[in-house]
Each structure stands twice: as structure tokens, then as C-alpha cells.
Structure 1
């Protein structure tokens, strides 16, 4: 039973580790990219990227989630032969969809740039990302298959390899193409998605064939297998509501890409200034906000099959336990992350992107980490229990609020890009609150609110005081003009914050011995050491 209970968190730990590595690499390439192509280049790159993510969402989010849910249910019923059959049908569908999508984007690159994004300079970037859609759609289907088996290592390994190759290729190509114009420099960065996806697919195919060779032969009767039409109907019926919900996020980014720049111009900024501000907001500030949400994203990947399995088995206790652990992980990471990003906004932006102006956006959007994390986790919980339409509806309401606030607030001269940040936070907060209401109505989880909210909040407040005082003391005595001293001050303060926050959670008994054991490699040793010192409970 303990092994079954820990499946969710172990899978999440694997995906989270890969996610942290990928996000860290993402910070590195964006830091270099900001120095290579500048604010405007970032703005062009970020304008093109939502086009890619909108088409990609269907193949990388909706279909894999549907596959993992169906496969986990068949596994729970002891029908692995049907699970494999479902995967093969889904793979054929993804191949056709990905090919059509890539060709369509390539053919429509110019009108998309000119009429939808209102900036013909984005044409080469849109064209550069089109081939990646086909490759990633195939790779995502294989990942969905492994997630249905709650095997998270293939996704984790391929994700890291994909990001490494993407980082190298995009920085190299951006550097080589920039002398021919900022448009081609941004396109070079965008083309990194293709080279990274090819590397990731290669890795996941190798693991898949190794996985198959180590399995026992399945002897399911051919007559017992459902028709292809029936399987496709199940996949599509699950995928459509998930697609609608998942599409809202890239659509929000697309709306931001098409709306923020014109509304900043209304506020009195020039096209170049508006493009630079958009690059600071979406390419820099939002990158830092998305970094700590990797835990929530990891949970989102793992929650749907895990909760679908326990729900299909009728295990109400296990379902509630998994939901409680998911909320705890999301809040214990997002609360201190939000505080840290707010306090250290200026030094972080200056150190990573060599652009302290991006701190203006980051301070306003930093508390969106909590909202985004809770929105992702609660959406996956609702999908896992079969309420796939609910998170889509709630996110639509959140996106609508975001659009209204972006349109009105960004055009106010005294707010400018701050209005876009406020709109983003408000939108995700509304979606998260509506999702939580849905979870409580459907599952009625048993929460210990002292452990869930009070302890991380109290620990976060102590951490806030510590990092504010530490950075002020370091910058007063050492200064922060040079990159080396700035980096030392910032990283030292982050380290102090982590130690203080972790220490407070141990003192308040917020972290248990079982929680620590789930940390890969060092978790068990650390848990045993702290147990001997009397600092952690079982």
C-alpha cells in the first residue's frame, strides 16, 4: 500500500527533476539569447511562439493526456493488450495530424505574420518553427504511452536531451544569423525547437523499443479488441474538452502577442519601445515565473493517470490522499517562489538577462506563481475524475478577465506593461479559484489546513525577512555593480532563503520523513539524518 501511495510523488519527483534541469537550461539559453538578440529580438521570438504552441497543444497536451488516462484505466482492469492497441491507434492519428499541421503553418506563415500578428518581421520565425510540430506530436504520443504506465523516466530523459540540443542550436543559429538582420536572428532562435524535438524523439524511440523487448508477450484476442473507429471516438471525446482548456493558455499568449504592443502604443510608447517591453514581460519576467511552476507541471503530467487509476478502482481514500499531496507540493513550492521573485526581482533580471527594467513586470506578476500552480494541479485533478469540461470552462472565464484587464490597463500611461502583468495574475487566480470549487464539489478532499497553508505561509514570511535583510546587507558592503558581485549577492541570498524556509518547515513539522525520502538519490539519507537529530517526524 505504501508503494501504491507513493507512486504519484515518485513519478512527480522524476518529472520535477527533469523539469528543473530543463527550466534551468531554459534560463541559460534565454540569458544568452537576451544578450545576443536583445529586447526587440526577444519580442519577435515571443510573438511567433504562441502560433507554434496553439497548434502543438492538441498533439502534446490533449492527445497524450487522453492516451495516459485510457491506458491507465485498461491497466487497472488487467488489459494491457488493449492499452497497447489504443496507443497504436493514437500514434497513427498523431502522425497524420502533425504532418497536416506543420504543412499548414508553413504555407500560412506570411498571412499569419502580416494579419494576425501585425508584424511581417515575424515571418521567418513562424516558418522556422513549423517543422517541429510534426516531430513533437509523435514524441508526445510516446510520452503519453509511458505516462499511462506511470513510467516517468522516458519523458524525463527525453525532455532534458531535447532542451540541451534546443539550447545549443538556438543560441548558435541566432548568433550566426543575427548579422543578416534581427528578423533572421529571432528565426534562428525559433528553429531550435526543431533540432531539440528530433533529439528528444530519438531518445524516446530508443527507450520504447527497449521497454517492449523486456515485456512479456501479450496474447489478447484480436476479436476482443474494439474497432479503430471506437478507439478514435474515445480519444477524441476525451481530447476535445482537454484541448479547449489547454488551448486557452496559448491563446492567452497569442492575444498578449497581438494586443499588448498596440495597447502600449496607445499609452504613448513607440513600436520599438512597445516590442521591447513585451519582450521584457513575456520573454524575461514570465520565464522566471514559469520556472518554479515546474513542480505543478510535473504533478499535472502525473496526476491524470494516477487519479484515473485510483478513481477507476473505486479507492476514495487513495484518491483523496493523492489530491492532498498534490496540493501540498504545489503550495510548498509556489509560496516561497512568489516571495523570492518579488523581493529579488531587480537583481535576478539584471543577473540573468542583463536587463533590470524587466523587474518592473516581474514584481507585478511574481504572485502569479501560486495561481498558475494551483490552476495546473486542480485542472489535472478534475480531468482525472472525469470532469474534463470544467477546467476548460473555468480557464475560459480566467482568460476573458485577462483580456479585459490587458486591454484596459495596458493602455493607461501610468501602468503600461504593469497592466498586462496584473491582467495575467488576475486571470489565473480566477481560474484557480473556480477549479478549487469544482474539486471540493466533486471529491471533497480532507485537508489539514494548518499543514497546507499556515505552515508554508509562516515559513515564507520568515524567509522574506531573511532574504530582504541578507541582500540589503550584502549589497551595502559589497556593492552590486559588477556581474560577479551581483551574482554572488543574489545566489547567496537565494541559498539563505532556501535554508531558512526549509528549516522553518522542519521546525513547524511541515515536512515529514516520507516527504524527504521522495527526493531522488539523497532523500533517504537526508531523512534518516534529520530523524536522528529529531528534526523530522515520520
Structure 2
């Protein structure tokens, strides 16, 4: 593989995962909008109460394995030890099966006492019970995804993500419509069960791809001159040594959600809200504001997933220049995407929550947590870089420090009436900011990476400030003009035309500042290559 191809390969992988993730996230947005309109903030609060418990146990079951697999397999293939790479996958698959089954059973058994222990709304029991089988299925699916990602083949993961979300959406909406007459607790359980059917569909397509490509992939892996020096015990130790720190790091985020689940409703009650009001406010924060915040980060999630094997390959081969290039590219794309997303969510919080979810009051927590997009994105990308060079314990420690700050701020401010739900949003933002900056410090230290202040800070910041002024002016003009012309849905048209116009304006600013690179556009599906060539001819892009 040529150097230029190597440089672009991880961006291509990230682009594939981003396209799939964006499709899946749009579908996820779709079902959340529909569900919120059917069962309201209170019903979504019950649905969301199952998820922190589920994600904590899911992370314990599977989260470290795909990342560890991707790194170990990429290492072995780079070192031409293909048989050992296949051996690692087979052992990891067995581990995923056993651990996933045990954790899934545990969740079902402890659901009722756990809800009582955490002082949650007892109506959330059925939602917790309904989602528990998903842990087993997702754990097995994670092993197959990690295997393909280790080969730097992101297509199987992308396909499984799309099918998983489609089946999930279909199941959730269908069951909620059927069960809502029986009560919000049953409707929330129906929504939760979508995770099970979605995971089954995602696993089935991975098994199909695995079977279909068996001859080509496994002839590649099983041929070669390397002998298998690893026994099963060695493989388990290698996987565990990498997976445990990654799992601990990944565990912090669902623990933060669990802390929010425990603290927010209870501290809101301490501030004077009734149980139903506290549940509704928690639903606004967790089921309306946070999905809007997490939506743009699908790109950085994809970057992080693609970075691990790409950085691991460069690190194994001792190519410092390639590590620096990939690190610089990933961080630049992260800043360019997440910073304007934060600004847009902050400025358009009320119309977005009103139009999409019919919950305009959710704009209050959204404005405070909107800046979390930037810090969450930085934390995810920098974690991918550190995991790629084998420093898996560092991002775990840093995220834990951020989680402690989040818990303290959340607990302290949410019970103060003047803050209320704003306290939870502020705690989330500050927690991720601390984790992100600590990660960046270690990226500089461990990768010997020098931050390009002009490219990573000054140019994006100036572009975003100018875009912010543009959004305020354009939105007011569009809203007033469309209202005067008596357009139907003038509010919606003004909002989404502002989003589109702001994106175009921001893109033009980046072209002027030479922040968009030729390779960035080439990786965009369908129109990317043609657009890159056109802009290059016009002098806006450098190859």
C-alpha cells in the first residue's frame, strides 16, 4: 500500500462509518421524534431510565473487545502474522458469547431490586426487563465488528449499523402504538425491546457477510509463513490487558448517564418539583437535548473507530510521520465539524426542540449542553488516537476525572431552583471539557505531536464567530419575511433554511481560510471527487 493510500485509508474508513452512522442516527432521530409525540416527555423519561442501566452492563459485556480486536488484528497483519490475527478473533468471539450471556441474565434478574435501590420510577421496570436480551446479541455482534475493523474494512460494520437501526425503529414505533393504550410503562417497554430486534438484525447481516467472504478473507488470513505461537491463554491475556482499560473508560459515559438518572430526578424533587415533573424534565434533558447533542458526534465516533487500527498500524511499523499526519487530520476534522455544531445548537435551541420534538422547554438544558458537542467530539477522537498507540488506560482515567466533576456539579446545582435542569446540562459539558483537555495533553506527550494553533484553533474560531453572527441575522430576516408573506410553516422554513445557509456560509469561510483539503472532499460519497476537482481548478483547494 502506498504512503498516500495509507494516509487516506483511515479517512475513507471514517467516511464509510460516518455515512452509515449518519443514516442510522437520522433513523434514530425519526423514531425519537415519533415516540416523543406519542408518549410525551414523561413516557420518554421512563424509556430513558432503562438505558443507563442497560449501557453500563453492556459496556461491561462488550465495549473493550471490538477496540482491542481492531488494534490486535491490525498489529498482527502489519507484522505479517495473519494466522495469529485469526486466532485472536476466534478466542474473542467465544469470550463475547460467554460474557454477554451471563450479563444479559444478570440484568433481567436484578431489574426490580435495582430500580428500587436507585429510587427510580417503578414504572420503568418493564422497560429494563425488555431490553436485557440485547446485551447478549450485541456482545457477539461487537466481536464481528472488531474483526472487520481490524482488517480496516468498515463496510460490514456500516451495513450492520443501518439494518440494526432500521429494524429497531420499525419495532419501537410499532410496539409503542400497540401498547400505549395499556399505559406508559408498557409503551416504554415496547420501545426498549426495539434494541433486541435491531441487534439481532445487525448480527445476522454480519454473519452473512462473514460467511460470504469466507474464502477470500480467510485464505488471506490463514496463508503465510508465520506459525501460531499464541495459545488460548496468551490471547485471552492480551485481549483482557487491552480491553479492561478500554472498558473502564467506556464505562464512565454510561455511569455518567446513570449518575444523571439517579441525581437529576431526585435533586429536581429537592428543588421543589413533583415526581412527574421531575421525570418530564429528565426526559427533556436525556431524550431531547442529549440526542441533539450526540447527533453531530457520529462523525467523531466514526473517526475514532477508524483511527484505532490506522494509528496502531503506523505505530507498529514505527512511522512517526504517518502517526502525526493521521492525528493532525483527525483533530482538524473534529474541530471543523463540532465547533459550528455547538454554535448552531446554542443559537437555534428553541426552534429546534420545538419543531423536531414539540418540546420547546427542552431548549433550556440544550443551550447549556450544546457546547458539550465540541468537548465530546474532542474526547472521542483523542481517545481513538491514544487507544491506537496502546495507551488505553489514559483516556479511561481522564474520563473518570471528568465524570467526577460532572457528578459534583450535577448534584450541587440541580437542587438549586435557579439552576434546576440547567445544573445537569452544565455538569455534562464541564465533565467532557476536562476529559478532552486532559486527553489532548497526553496526545501531545505520547505521540510527540505539536498542535497547529493556526489550523486547529484560530481559523476555526474566527469562522465560527462569523457564522454565529450570520445565523442571528439570517434567522431573524427569514422568520420575519416568511411570516409577512404568510407562508405555511414559516417557522419551520425559517429554521431549516437558516441551518442550510449557515452550513454553506461556513463552508465558504473554510475555503477562504484554506482549511478544507482536497483529500477531505474526495472521501465524501457521490459528489466529493467532482467537487474537489472543481474547487481545485478554481484555486480554492490544494492537493
Q: What range is the shorter-chain TM-score in?
A: over 0.9
2:538 equivalent to 1:533 = yes
Unaligned ranges ≥5, structure 1: none
2:520 equivalent to 1:515 = yes
Partner of 1:71: 73
User: Aligned to 1:214, what secondary structure does the other structure show?
Assistant: helix
Partner of 1:100: 102
Partner of 2:279: 275
Q: Is the 8 A contact 1:35 1:353 kept in 2?
A: yes
The partner residue of 1:316 within 305, 316, 320 is: 320
The partner residue of 1:19 within 18, 21, 38 is: 21
**For 1:489 and 1:224, how far apart are their aligned partners in 2?**
63
User: Aligned to 1:528, what secondary structure does the other structure show?
Assistant: helix
User: Aligned to 2:133, what secondary structure does the other structure show?
Assistant: helix
Q: Is the 8 A contact 1:44 1:183 kept in 2?
A: yes
**For 1:292 and 1:383, how far apart are their aligned partners in 2?**
22
The partner residue of 1:369 within 355, 373, 378 is: 373
1:337-372 Cα shifts (integer Å, max 9, x gaps)? 001001110110011101100001111110011110
Q: Is the 8 A contact 1:47 1:117 kept in 2?
A: no
The partner residue of 2:265 within 261, 276, 287 is: 261
The partner residue of 1:355 within 345, 355, 359 is: 359
The partner residue of 1:344 within 342, 348, 372 is: 348
**For 1:264 and 1:237, how far apart are their aligned partners in 2?**
41
Question: Displacement, 1:61?
Answer: 2.2
Question: Displacement, 1:400?
Answer: 0.3
User: Aligned to 1:89, what secondary structure does the other structure show?
Assistant: helix
**For 1:477 and 1:248, how far apart are their aligned partners in 2?**
47
Question: Displacement, 1:502?
Answer: 0.3
Q: Is the 8 A contact 1:101 1:133 kept in 2?
A: yes
2:504 equivalent to 1:499 = yes
**For 2:542 and 2:309, how far apart are their aligned partners in 1?**
30
1:232-243 matches, cutoff 5 A: 232-243=236-247
**For 2:531 and 2:16, how far apart are their aligned partners in 1?**
18
Partner of 1:484: 489
Partner of 1:158: 160
User: Aligned to 2:391, what secondary structure does the other structure show?
Assistant: coil
Partner of 2:454: 450
Partner of 2:228: 224
Summarize the Cα distance change of 1:535–1:459 in structure 2 as closer, same or farther, 3 Å threshold. same
Partner of 1:383: 387
2:277 equivalent to 1:297 = no
Unaligned ranges ≥5, structure 2: none
Length-normalised TM-score, structure 1: 0.98
Partner of 1:524: 529
Question: Displacement, 1:219?
Answer: 4.1
**For 2:136 and 2:357, how far apart are their aligned partners in 1?**
31
**For 2:302 and 2:226, how far apart are their aligned partners in 1?**
36
Question: Displacement, 1:210?
Answer: 1.9
Summarize the Cα distance change of 1:11–1:181 in structure 2 as closer, same or farther, 3 Å threshold. same
Question: Displacement, 1:102?
Answer: 1.1
Give RMSD over aligned pairs. Answer: 1.6
Length-normalised TM-score, structure 2: 0.97
Summarize the Cα distance change of 1:222–1:214 in structure 2 as closer, same or farther, 3 Å threshold. closer
Q: Is the 8 A contact 2:126 2:186 kept in 1?
A: yes
Partner of 2:112: 110
1:495-530 Cα shifts (integer Å, max 9, x gaps)? 001100001001111112222112122111001111
Partner of 1:407: 411
User: Aligned to 2:314, what secondary structure does the other structure show?
Assistant: helix
Q: After alignment, is 132-141 or 508-517 more displaced?
A: 508-517
The partner residue of 2:93 within 85, 91, 94 is: 91
1:207-248 Cα shifts (integer Å, max 9, x gaps)? 112222223362468973411111001101111111111100
Q: Is the 8 A contact 1:59 1:140 kept in 2?
A: no
Summarize the Cα distance change of 1:77–1:483 in structure 2 as closer, same or farther, 3 Å threshold. farther
Summarize the Cα distance change of 1:482–1:122 in structure 2 as closer, same or farther, 3 Å threshold. farther
Partner of 1:198: 200
Summarize the Cα distance change of 1:507–1:40 in structure 2 as closer, same or farther, 3 Å threshold. same
Question: Displacement, 1:483?
Answer: 8.1
Question: Displacement, 1:8?
Answer: 1.2
2:139 equivalent to 1:137 = yes
